[in-house]
Amino acid sequence: MTLSSSSSPSPDGPRGLSILGSTGSIGTQTLEVVRLFPDRFDVRALTCGANVELLAEQVREFRPATVAVGTDAAAEELRDRLDGVADAVDVQVGEDGLCKTATRADLDVVMAAVVGFAGLRPVLAALKAGKTVALANKETMVVGGALVQDTLEAHDDARLLPVDSEHSAILQCLVGESAQSVEEVVLTASGGPFRTRAADTFREITVDEALDHPNWSMGPKITIDSATMMNKGLEVIEAKWLFDLEVDQVRVLVHPQSIVHSMVMFTDGAVKAQLGVPDMKVPIQYALSVPDRWAAPHERLDWGEVTRLDFERPDTDKFPCLRLAFEALDTGGTAPAVLNAANEAAVDRFLDEHISFLDIPRCIEQALAAHSHTVSPTLDEVAAADRAARRHVQELAAAPSN
Ligand code: NAD
Ligand code: MG
């Protein structure tokens, strides 16, 4: 990953921006950053799955040329809500629509902030079209890291910049360093809401308890991933591909205060860390400003309040999802895609109260055991592995023992 400025088609004027998933936690915070720097961006595309009410408000404020929504029914509702503005906005639908809103000729930057496997094809399409992709959608790197790497190698003008706070921290620590000097990266993890809860009470964990994250306010899927620590597992795989690391170069440390966002240890023993209050607007903005920094009124760290910084090893007996992610990364091929799909399906079933918190790792482990892994998969093979793993979890969740 290099920090050179992008070959933007409009280097002096505002950069054309598309936000995939503009109604979500990362999407709305990206628009907050855009509001701080109205002269730097021209919002040309916005998309959502189903939150048409908020998307309509965003269209009225930012006047994009294109929007994409998940279904025909959502498109119909959006047109009704945009009465009077609708004629000026091109409304696209589904995955094809998402890809179109990621590849328009007038775009410089694509913020990939949809959740889950749905981000993979649009991200690949944007990179193939030579765009700069600001990547929040970590699942893309988990299921298709090798495909993304190949696409970046084949398209010199494409760039990929991390939005995830840990990976943004690593990128910031790497400024001025050479890749050969990196010994290991240390991803910090808050530990989630159940870090200190006794493991023998995990079977009683409710959806509301799991959705109550101590430090970050995020969408429901990543909040459950944080509670199971699968989020850190996905981030380990994301770090491997973003920074071209070996599995044993990525370490996880639990850091409950979420002030040190991650660290890099170099071959001479020196360690660099990036710190700040937990606020996603900072890494979102850095992905949009890199290699520069833009002065902004985000909350400052108050050293009077920071009385201690704690670090501890993660407990993979209590949080087996983290172990499963390391194992899937080690297996390689389609294993991380199976891990991700089984996790997405299991989290959905947990959120609608069909399975328990402890069933999430069980479903993933069983899906991984049932799958025969393809080495160096194509996009179609990754998608097939994703479908098979989801089916497997649906069957497990529907089985009488659950
Ligand atoms: P969210 O659920 O709040 O928002 C998701 C957005 O994607 C919404 O706009 C939704 O309408 C849209 N969407 C969902 N499914 C879709 C589909 N199938 N097709 C098209 N659009 C779809 O999620 P979020 O918390 O903003 O997270 C987005 C991504 O960023 C995830 O991959 C997450 O892991 C990552 N991330 C989030 C945070 C955070 O603080 N929220 C931090 C780091 C990384
Ligand atoms: Mg993160």
Q: Based on C-alpha coordinates, what's the Rg of the chain?
A: 21
Strand partners, 161: 134
Query: Are 141 and 237 a contacting pair, CB within 8 Å?
Result: yes
CA of 47 to the centre of ligand 1 (A): 11
Which whole-number Å values give the CA distances from 329 to 119, 333, 359, in the listed order?
20, 8, 21
Distance CA 147, CA 141 (A): 9
DSSP character for 118?
A: G
Instruction: List, for residues 104-163, the tens digit of each pLDDT value.
Output: 999 999 999 999 999 999 999 999 999 999 999 999 999 999 999 999 999 999 999 999
Mutate to test the pocket of ligand 1, among 218, 282, 390 (most ligand atoms within 8 A of CB): 218
Is-same-fold flag (15-163; 332-402)? no
Distance CA 333, CA 338 (A): 10
For tokens 């944080």, the residue is: 226
Strand partners, 68: 47, 92
Instruction: Using the Cα atoms of residue 138, residue 143, residue 145 and residue 150 in order, give the sign of their dihedral.
Output: negative
Distance CA 347, CA 224 (A): 7
CA of 166 to the centre of ligand 2 (A): 5
91: helix, coil or strand? strand
Second-level CATH architecture of 332-402: Orthogonal Bundle (1.10)
Q: Residue 123 CA: which ligand is closest?
A: 1
* Ligand 1 nearest atom to the CA of residue 164, by list position: 43
Query: Are 140 and 120 a contacting pair, CB within 8 Å?
Result: yes
CA of 285 to the centre of ligand 2 (A): 15
Residue 226: how many CA atoms within 13 Å on its side-chain side?
A: 25
Given the candidates 3.40.50.720, 3.30.420.40, 2.60.120.260, 3.40.50.620, the CATH classification of the domain at 15-163 is: 3.40.50.720
CA of 312 to the centre of ligand 1 (A): 29
Instruction: List, for residues 264-298, the tens digit of each pLDDT value.
Output: 999 999 999 999 999 999 999 999 999 999 999 99
* Ligand 1 nearest atom to the CA of residue 231, by list position: 34
* Ligand 1 nearest atom to the CA of residue 114, by list position: 7
Ligand 1 — pocket residues by CB below 6 A? 21-27, 47-51, 70, 98, 113-115, 118, 136-139, 164, 216, 218-219, 221-222, 280
Query: Are 48 and 72 a contacting pair, CB within 8 Å?
Result: no
Query: Are 184 and 251 a contacting pair, CB within 8 Å?
Result: yes
Q: What percent of the chain has pLDDT over 70?
A: 96
Mutate to test the pocket of ligand 1, among 19, 23, 25, 57 (most ligand atoms within 8 A of CB): 25
* Ligand 1 nearest atom to the CA of residue 216, by list position: 40
Residues with Cβ–ion distance below 5 A, ligand 2: 164-166
Distance CA 312, CA 375 (A): 35
**Beta strands at 132-135 and 109-112: parallel, antiparallel or unpaired:** parallel
Question: Where do the domains of the chain lie?
Answer: 15-163, 164-279+301-316, 332-402
CA of 164 to the centre of ligand 2 (A): 5
Tens place of pLDDT for every residue, the chain, 402 residues? Answer: 544 444 344 456 899 999 999 999 999 999 999 999 999 999 999 999 999 999 999 999 999 999 999 999 999 999 999 987 767 899 999 999 999 999 999 999 999 999 999 999 999 999 999 999 999 999 999 999 999 999 999 999 999 999 999 999 999 999 999 999 999 999 999 999 999 999 999 999 999 999 998 888 899 999 999 999 999 999 999 999 999 999 999 999 999 999 999 999 999 999 999 999 999 999 999 999 999 999 999 999 999 999 999 999 999 999 999 999 999 999 999 999 999 999 999 999 999 999 999 999 999 999 999 998 899 999 999 999 999 999 999 999 888 654
